[in-house]
């Protein structure tokens, strides 16, 4: 939008530019709109707003900026909008509210910031809004609210913070909001509410704390919650132990929220209402570690994931922390390669030699703590079977002719295997090498790693070894061979299969006391060779005989077509007959008949 785009519309009161493709608003775009009261820019593609975009709109009361792509607002953007009453910024990409963003808005009554990505709110972000009545911050990513954030909002009546990521409510967070009537904090991650969090809220009639992670309440909060007529604290994991005993003693049965506290733990009180439980049954038990182990043994192998189990009991359920061999401490809140679950499961990913050593599991609750140590080893391990099947390529593109692009290389993925304990049994199968043949049937000569006249041998055992204790190196190499056809076009029999690649690997072993065995010749292979030799000899003999037969056949056919043998000449005028046969003259003299 260009500057002074609406210069001649000085008396304009309502301007609706919603549902367009506006991405940027330049300074002075709305200059001279001194009568404008409502400006709608929602449902566009605006990403940023400059500081002086709305300057001069002294009569503006409604500003719609929702459903854009706004990710930041410069402080002072709304300065000078002295009559602004409604500001809609919901459904954008805002992540942060800076100090002074909403300063100098003396008439603002409603501010909607829900459905953004706001994570941080500075303490004085909402200062200087004395007429603000409704502040909507639900469906964001707010994790903390600092005391004093909502100071100087004497007319605030509705504050919505549900569906955020709040974890605790500090004392004084909502203090000094004399007109606040509705406060919604549901669907957060609140675990701790400090005394004084809801003090000095004389008009508060509705407080929603359902669907959080609240387990206990300090007894001082009972006096703050009792005056609230619509209090919802359902669907929280209440722990009915010694920590809520004082709160239970203050229950009188006269408030409806008392019957909303239903125990999740301990197991013997699960499902019961706190108001129905005898305070003497609300006890705590010092934790004890029942077991700390890893499966059947304490030897790690190089696997993607390994788990340890530290099982502990106590009332309340103890928190588990683990000291690693490196000295680092991890807990349920920790992130990284080693994590701890709430049930005591310790998960280690990408196990290395550095993971060997002592692991110290500590279980602690309100009544005390205890610990146990588990020592583990890390060994590398070679599998008893290394499998590397080879793939083949079958050419069926034509009757005896196959075309390959020049310099076409084929490479199969390398075989994969795991490393296990270095002292294990030797594999009982050893694969034989593959034979090769030379192809001279086409326009060039190429070598392929298989026999194209018979079935394709991938690998076959040539000997069998009993299990034995060995020493195996920790490094196993498995390079792949490649086949490059550089002959251009070759002629091959139809359905000619070519082995693409034959991965090879080396495995050095030191075997003790192994019985020697002579390699056995494959009988099927010897029979195939013998049959091939016989077939070749028969074929050669047949070809020679057939060639001789053709020569004599042609000569005999020629003699029959001419008549008498052209090699014999009769002369009836003389007494001499000359016979020429195969280049020699035979002369006979005799008398001529009368």
Evaluate if residue 475 carries a pLDDT over 70: no
Evaluate if residue 421 carries a pLDDT over 50: no
Evaluate if residue 454 carries a pLDDT over 90: no
Distance of alpha carbon 522 from alpha carbon 537, whole angstroms: 24
Distance of alpha carbon 245 from alpha carbon 251, whole angstroms: 10
By DSSP bridging, strand 392-395 and strand 446-448 are: unpaired
142-283 matches 1-101 in CATH topology:
yes
Distance of alpha carbon 73 from alpha carbon 79, whole angstroms: 12
pLDDT of residue 304: 65
Evaluate if residue 414 carries a pLDDT over 70: no
> Binning pLDDT at 50, 70 and 90, where does residue 487 land?
very low
Distance of alpha carbon 338 from alpha carbon 372, whole angstroms: 18
Evaluate if residue 462 carries a pLDDT over 50: no
pLDDT of residue 529: 66
- What single DSSP character describes residue 535? H
- Mean pLDDT on 474-483: 42
- Mean pLDDT on 26-30: 87
Evaluate if residue 474 carries a pLDDT over 70: no
Distance of alpha carbon 491 from alpha carbon 493, whole angstroms: 7
Please, what CATH class does the domain formed by 285-378 belong to? mainly beta
Cis check for the bond before 293: say yes or no (omega within 30 of 0). Answer: no
pLDDT of residue 299: 55
User: CB of 158 within 8 A of CB of 182?
Assistant: yes
**142-283 homologous superfamily:** Ribonuclease Inhibitor (3.80.10.10)
> What is the share, in percent, of the chain residues with pLDDT greater than 90?
45
Q: Dihedral through CA 268, CA 272, CA 274, CA 278, nearest 10?
A: -60
Distance of alpha carbon 295 from alpha carbon 383, whole angstroms: 20
pLDDT tens digits for 329-377? 999 888 889 999 888 898 888 888 888 899 999 999 999 999 999 998 8
Backbone torsions φ then ψ of 361, nearest 5 degrees = -100, 130
Distance of alpha carbon 474 from alpha carbon 507, whole angstroms: 10
pLDDT of residue 277: 96
pLDDT tens digits for 193-224? 999 999 889 999 999 999 999 999 999 999 99
User: CB of 511 within 8 A of CB of 465?
Assistant: yes
Burial tier of 336 (Cβ tally within 10 Å: 0-12, 13-18, 19+):
exposed
pLDDT of residue 393: 53
> Binning pLDDT at 50, 70 and 90, where does residue 459 land?
very low
Task: For the chain, report the end-to-end CA distance as a whole number of angstroms.
Answer: 137
- Mean pLDDT on 377-386: 60
- What single DSSP character describes residue 281? G
Evaluate if residue 2 carries a pLDDT over 70: yes
Domains in the chain: boundaries: 1-101, 142-283, 285-378, 381-518, 521-594
User: CB of 332 within 8 A of CB of 342?
Assistant: yes
- Mean pLDDT on 7-30: 92
pLDDT tens digits for 52-70? 899 889 999 999 999 999 9
Name the nearest CA neighbour of 34 among 5, 7, 1, 72: 7
pLDDT of residue 350: 85
Helix and strand numbers, DSSP H then E, in the chain? 3, 40
Tokens of 309: 């189990």
**Which residues is 403 bridged to in the sheet?**
489
pLDDT tens digits for 97-121? 988 889 889 999 999 999 999 998 8
Strand ranges for 266-396 from DSSP E? 285-293, 299-300, 305-315, 319-323, 329-330, 338-340, 345-349, 357-365, 368-378, 392-395
pLDDT of residue 398: 54
Backbone torsions φ then ψ of 551, nearest 5 degrees = -60, -50
pLDDT of residue 395: 55
What global pTM score does this model have? 0.61
Instruction: From the options 3.40.350.10, 3.20.20.70, 3.40.50.2300, 3.80.10.10, give the CATH code of 1-101.
Output: 3.80.10.10
> Binning pLDDT at 50, 70 and 90, where does residue 586 land?
very low
- Mean pLDDT on 494-520: 40
Distance of alpha carbon 494 from alpha carbon 482, whole angstroms: 23
User: CB of 31 within 8 A of CB of 56?
Assistant: yes
pLDDT tens digits for 235-265? 999 999 999 999 999 999 889 999 999 999 9
- What single DSSP character describes residue 412? P
User: CB of 492 within 8 A of CB of 441?
Assistant: yes
pLDDT tens digits for 297-333? 555 555 667 889 999 999 998 999 999 999 999 998 8
**Which residues is 408 bridged to in the sheet?**
485
pLDDT tens digits for 174-185? 988 999 999 999
- 3-class DSSP state for residue 549? helix
Cα radius of gyration rounded to whole Å, the chain: 47
């Amino acid at each position: 939008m260009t500057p002074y785009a609406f210069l001649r519309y000085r008396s304009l009161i309502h301007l609706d530019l919603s549902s367009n493709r506006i991405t940027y608003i330049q300074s002075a775009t709305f200059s001279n709109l001194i009568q404008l009261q409502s400006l709608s820019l929602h449902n566009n593609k605006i990403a940023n707003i400059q500081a002086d975009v709305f300057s001069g709109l002294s009569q503006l009361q409604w500003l719609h900026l929702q459903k854009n792509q706004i990710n930041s607002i410069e402080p002072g953007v709304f300065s000078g909008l002295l009559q602004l009453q409604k500001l809609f910024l919901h459904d954008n990409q805002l992540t942060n509210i800076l100090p002074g963003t909403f300063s100098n808005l003396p008439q603002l009554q409603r501010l909607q910031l829900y459905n953004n990505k706001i994570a941080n709110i500075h303490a004085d972000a909402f200062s200087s809004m004395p007429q603000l009545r409704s502040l909507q911050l639900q469906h964001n990513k707010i994790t903390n609210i600092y005391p004093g954030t909502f100071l100087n909002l004497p007319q605030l009546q509705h504050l919505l913070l549900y569906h955020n990521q709040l974890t605790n409510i500090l004392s004084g967070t909502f203090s000094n909001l004399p007109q606040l009537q509705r406060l919604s904090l549901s669907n957060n991650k609140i675990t701790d509410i400090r005394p004084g969090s809801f003090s000095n809220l004389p008009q508060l009639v509705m407080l929603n704390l359902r669907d959080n992670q609240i387990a206990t309440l300090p007894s001082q909060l009972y006096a703050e919650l009792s005056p609230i007529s619509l209090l919802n604290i359902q669907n929280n994991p209440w722990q009915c132990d010694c920590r809520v005993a004082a709160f239970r003693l203050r229950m009188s049965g006269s408030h409806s929220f008392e019957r909303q506290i239903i125990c999740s733990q301990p197991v013997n009180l699960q499902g019961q209402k706190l108001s129905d439980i005898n305070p003497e049954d609300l006890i705590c038990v010092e934790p004890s570690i029942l077991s700390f182990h890893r499966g059947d043994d304490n030897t790690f192998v190089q696997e993607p994931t390994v788990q340890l189990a530290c099982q502990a009991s106590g009332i309340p359920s103890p928190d588990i922390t683990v000291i690693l061999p490196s000295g680092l401490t991890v807990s349920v809140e920790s992130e990284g390669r080693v994590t701890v679950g709430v049930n005591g499961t310790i998960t280690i990913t990408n196990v290395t030699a550095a993971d060997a050593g002592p692991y110290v599991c500590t279980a602690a609750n309100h009544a005390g703590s205890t610990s146990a140590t588990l020592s583990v080893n890390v060994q590398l391990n070679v599998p008893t079977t290394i499998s590397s099947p080879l793939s083949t390529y079958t050419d069926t593109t034509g009757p005896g002719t196959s075309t390959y692009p020049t310099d076409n290389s084929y490479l199969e993925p390398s075989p994969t295997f795991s490393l296990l304990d270095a002292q294990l049994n030797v594999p009982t199968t050893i694969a034989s090498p593959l034979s090769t043949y030379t192809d001279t049937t086409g326009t060039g000569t190429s070598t392929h790693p298989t026999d194209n006249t018979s079935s394709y041998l991938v690998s076959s055992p040539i000997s069998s070894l009993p299990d034995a204790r060995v020493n195996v190196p920790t490094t196993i190499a498995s390079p792949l061979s490649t086949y490059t056809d550089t002959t251009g076009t070759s002629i091959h029999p139809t359905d000619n299969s070519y082995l693409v690649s034959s991965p090879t690997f080396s495995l050095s072993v030191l075997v003790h006391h192994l019985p020697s065995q002579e390699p056995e010749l494959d009988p099927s292979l010897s029979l195939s060779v013998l049959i091939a030799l016989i077939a070749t000899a028969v074929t050669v003999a047949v070809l020679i005989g057939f060639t001789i037969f053709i020569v004599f056949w042609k000569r005999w056919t020629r003699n029959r077509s001419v008549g008498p043998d052209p090699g014999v000449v009769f002369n009836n005028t003389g007494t001499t007959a000359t016979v020429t046969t195969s280049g020699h003259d035979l002369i006979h003299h005799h008398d001529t008949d009368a």
